[in-house]
Structure 1
Amino acid sequence: MGKFIISKRTNDDFQFNLKAGNGQVILTSQGYGSRSACENGIESVRTNSGSDSNFERKTASDDRCYFNLKAGNGQVIGTSQMYESENGMENGIESVKTNAPGAVVEDETGR
């Protein structure tokens, strides 16, 4: 089962990672100024991960593939790791679709 991990960056912003059942990070958020904004970002991933049209497929300058998950307003909610192939990226997208809706949330910020 997947899980969202809330952590703090060195600049004290909150962020989350969505991890698959095998522990691999499949989506990383932007930085948020508050825990509640970060939690809203997690809910946005749950809401928007069900629609394939919300996944923006990209190719980096070194030809590796990655994707962004976007909200209905076009804002990027999370970004994937880099993949060596389009097939790997598509598997990552499927993993987000599978894991995000029922993922538990773990807060590692010492709240």
Structure 2
Amino acid sequence: MASKFELFKDKKGEFRWRLVASNGQTIADSGEGYTTHANAINGIESVKKNAPVAAIVDLSQT
């Protein structure tokens, strides 16, 4: 099984997403609730677009 985005509603009725690895572990989540389904989808699309080109900033070497 490949990784997947899961879109769901939380207890407050807001839309959230999480990225689940092939082993079932959550590796990222929306961190915020979205009021509309469309906005949550836009959040997922933003991660898909921006993550491949995001820089790695190593803050452990201070």
Q: Structure 2: which 5+ runs fail to align?
A: none
Give the corresponding residue for 1:65. Answer: 15
Give the corresponding residue for 2:50. Answer: 99
Identity %: 39
Structure 1 distance, partners of 2:8, 2:61, is 35
Structure scoring higher RCO (CA < 8 A, sep ≥ 6) equals 1
**Post-superposition offset of 1:88:** 0.5
- Cα RMSD of the aligned pairs, angstroms, is 1.5
Report the TM-score when normalising by structure 1.
0.49
**Post-superposition offset of 1:76:** 0.3
Aligned length: 59
Bigger mean CA deviation after superposition, 99-108 or 72-81: 99-108
Letter in 2 for 1:83: Y
Structure 1 distance, partners of 2:29, 2:50, is 15
Give the corresponding residue for 1:75. Answer: 25
Report the TM-score when normalising by structure 2.
0.83
Letter in 2 for 1:87: A
Q: Describe the superposition over 1:64-111 as per-residue Cα deviations: whole angstroms up to 9, x where unpaired.
A: 111000111111001102111111000000001001111101233453
Structure 2 distance, partners of 1:72, 1:83, is 25
